[in-house]
Chains A and B, each alone.
Chain A
Amino acid sequence: MNVLNADVLVIGSGPSGLAAAVEAHQNGANTVIVDSFSKAGGQYWMQSNHGLEKNDRQMQEGANFITNCENLGIKTITDAEVWGILPGFRVFIQQGLGGSIEIAASALVICTGAHDFVMPFSGWTLPGVMTAGAGQRYAKMQGKPPGDKIVLAGSGVFLWAVATTIVKAGGKLEAMVESSTNKFRLLSLIGRYPSRWTETRRLLSPVLRSGVQRLSGYCIDNAQGEDRIESVKLRQVSNSDRGASQELEIETDCLLVSHGFRPITEMTALLRCEHLFDLKKGGWYCKTDTETGATSIDNVYAAGEVTGVTGVQSAMIEGALAGLGVSEKLGFTRNGIKRKRARLIKRQLQTVKFADGLAELFKLSKNSIPNIDTNTLVCRCENVLWGDVLKSWNDGAQNLQAVKYWTRLGMGRCQGRICGVVVSRLLANQFGLDPRSFGFNHPRLPLRPVSVNIVHDAFAQKSCR
């Protein structure tokens, strides 16, 4: 097996990871970045195969940042998925078509980001129903929209970002469906932050110009189709539990849904870092020191959405702070660190305040998520129904771990990444409890399926340190 040494290993090459790597490298630490995708940039700075970056400012910004890292001589390994980490640290990676690498690193900066989650509804496993993020990725990578009659639904400003990408890729949206009805409060929030006006205009204007039908105060009721989605039924969100709400059916071949983001905490949880819970930050996230990015475990740092979902600007600041923090911890310093850190911390205060305001506006309520019944499938891998979960609860399984033992929810191929966050919310709504009381699924080695040969090679070899 190929073994590499690094002072600092950054896991994830999105905005926070790249920012962390630049700071650590510039302080003199031997810094390596790994990323599971075939190109650096993460989700926010995803790089297209189709030359789309020429008229996409966001992609261009990412390309510039990535080139800068290359020019600085920072080693970036792509197609590299971490499947195991041992203390010390030994990081095991599966690369591309079956290759295997071990990186021995003195410190880690974990920048694994977040993914969008979908609250379950009847028909959500039909092909053609996917996360809004998947639809955006498709449009960027393929240079065309993921369907002919796309419906985009859920909640949050991310819907606007996806709509913009689809319109730019030449796509047609049948409808854009937002469950919250906070338009005026949103405008007044943005109004208070002039630094966000240009960004907002860039996000809104292509969609507004396209004349897409926008429905606010509606949420998904169910999706229908034989072997693929054919239509989606929407219903008006009512503020009371009773009362008839208006329904609406739209033909579609591609339903893109996002109800928010979940921090990808497998690695920080595997390392036993302390985690905190805040629905406005996406649920469970890794706790970090706000000035240095240090987690509760020595020499493990984290930055970006894994430390709570607060958006790209905040992710870049957190990345830079973690890069400074980790290199200083390892004894690599240079002049001006203190001033730089103070500047970043000051900027971060405003950024986080804005993110908090946004999260407050797009909070999901019991009435703004799809209705489910006991026959709704909630665990897609093990085909566990909502009724099975309720039954296990009534039989005494009153946290996520116990529900898992009872029903197999979260034991399948996604390892609870898709169902864990949504079932906690559903149970909390059902019983009026705090979702944090259910805990989260603890990750196990290997973090991703790997062949026995790769595991054998990894453990047959003694650490090179």
Chain B
Amino acid sequence: MITIFIDGSEYEVNEDATLGHVLHEVKSARFGSSYRGLFCGMGICFECVVKVDDDLYKRSCMTKVYPGMQVNTNSL
């Protein structure tokens, strides 16, 4: 297990997990005035875009977790 940070809160996740799958369980990303979740799950639809560390535009479904990763679901 490793630790990652989602909007400042700490989460213990499996080290080979996909970020989009983690977010599906714990938190939806804000999109304008509504929330959006995982939709296509394979990099096509860009619904699950979040900010990861300095990268403003990361599809969480295509992103593996790594220790200490800082995720912001409220950046768009």
The chain A residues found within 8 Å of chain B, CB to CB, are 36-38, 43, 49, 81, 98, 115-116, 125-131, 133-135, 137-138, 141-142, 146, 227-228, 264, 380-381, 383, 412-414, 417-418, 448-449
Considering only CB atoms, which chain A residue lies closest to B16 in the complex?
A: A49
Contact at B35–A131, with CB atoms within 8 Å? no
Q: A130-B40, A133-B41 are in contact. List 7 more A-B contacts (CB 8 A).
A: A98-B55, A115-B42, A125-B36, A128-B37, A129-B39, A380-B45, A412-B46
* Docked-complex contact B28 and A130, CB < 8 angstroms: no
Q: Is B1 an interface residue (CB 8 A)?
A: no
Interfacial chain A residues near B18, Cβ < 8 Å: 141
Nearest CB of chain A from residue B59's CB, rounded to whole Å? 9
Contact status B40-A418, CB under 8 Å: yes
In the bound assembly, the distance between CA atoms of A38 and B49 in angstroms comes to 18
If A227-B35, A228-B28 touch, whether A36 touches B43 (CB-CB below 8 Å) is yes
Interface mask (B12-23 → A, CB under 8 Å = 1, otherwise 0)? 001011100100
User: Which 9 residue pairs of A and B lie closest in terms of their CB atoms, listed nearest first?
Assistant: A134-B41, A127-B37, A413-B46, A127-B28, A49-B16, A137-B41, A414-B45, A418-B45, A227-B35
Give Cα distance in the complex from A414 to B48, angstroms: 11
Query: Which of chain B's residues have a CB closer than 8 A to the CB of A142?
Result: 17, 21
Which B residues are CB-close (under 8 A) to A448?
43
B40 near A134 with CB under 8 A, answer: yes
Give Cα A141–Cα B24 distance, bound, in whole angstroms: 13
Name B's A-contacting residues (CB within 8 A).
Answer: 14, 16-18, 21, 24, 28, 32, 34-47, 49, 55, 57, 61-62, 64
Kindly provide the distance from the CB of A145 to the nearest chain B CB, expressed in whole angstroms: 11
Q: Per a CB cutoff under 8 Å, which of A37, A126, A146 touches B24?
A: A146
B44 in contact with A417 (CB, 8 Å):
yes
Q: Is the CB of B35 within 8 A of A134?
A: no
List residues of chain B with CB within 8 A of the CB of A417.
44-45
Complex partner residue of B32 from A49, A98, A141, A383, CB under 8 angstroms: A383
Assembly CA distance A304 to B64 (angstroms): 27
Our pick among A49, A133, A146, A449 for the contact of B42 (Cβ within 8 Å) is A133
Q: How far is it, in angstroms, between the C-alpha of A448 and the C-alpha of B21 when the chains are bound?
A: 21
Contacts of A133 in B (CB 8 A): 40-42
Q: How far is the CB of A413 from chain B (nearest CB, A)?
A: 4
Least CB separation from A142: chain B residue: B21
Q: Which residues of A contact B14 (CB under 8 A)?
A: 49
A125 contacts B34, CB within 8 Å? yes
Inter-subunit contact B45/A38 (CB<8 Å): no
Which residues of the partner chain A approach B39 to less than 8 Å between Cβ atoms? 129-131, 134, 380, 418
Contact B36 A38 (CB under 8 A): no
Residue of B nearest to A383 (CB): B32
How far apart are the CA atoms of A116 and B45 in the complex, in Å?
A: 11
Q: List residues of chain A with CB within 8 A of the CB of B16.
A: 49
Give 19 pairs: A residue, B residue, CB < 8 Å, sorted on A: A49-B14, A49-B17, A116-B40, A125-B34, A127-B36, A128-B37, A129-B37, A129-B39, A130-B38, A131-B39, A131-B41, A134-B61, A137-B42, A138-B24, A138-B38, A141-B18, A380-B36, A417-B44, A418-B44
Bound CA–CA A184/B18 (angstroms):
41
Please measure, in the bound complex, the distance between the C-alpha atom of A412 and the C-alpha atom of B46, giving whole angstroms: 9
> A36-B62, A38-B64, A228-B28 known; A130 and B46 CB under 8 Å?
no
| Chain B min CB distance to A378 (Å) | 14
Kindly state the separation between the CA atoms of A276 and B24 in the bound complex, as whole angstroms.
37
Cα separation A127 to B27 with both chains bound (whole Å):
9
Contact A138 B36 (CB under 8 A): no
Bound-complex Cα distance A116 to B42 (A) = 10
> In the bound complex, do residue B21 and residue A130 qualify as a contact, i.e. CB atoms below 8 Å apart?
no
Name A413's closest neighbour in chain B (CB-CB): B46
B73 to chain A: closest CB distance in Å?
11
Chain A CB count within 10 A is highest, among B14, B17, B37, B61, for B37
B42 and A130 within 8 A (CB):
no
| A38–B40 CA distance with the chains assembled, in angstroms | 17
Q: Within 8 Å CB of B34, what residues of A?
A: 125
Task: Find the residue from B24, B28, B62 having the highest chain A CB count within 10 A.
Answer: B24
Contact between A413 and B49, CB atoms less than 8 A apart: yes
- Using Cβ atoms and an 8 Å threshold, which residues of chain A touch B64? 38
Residues of B within 8 A of A449 (CB): 57
Closest to B76 in A: A413
- Known: A127-B28, A228-B35, A449-B57. Is A43-B42 also a contact (CB below 8 A)? yes
Within 8 Å CB of B32, what residues of A? 383
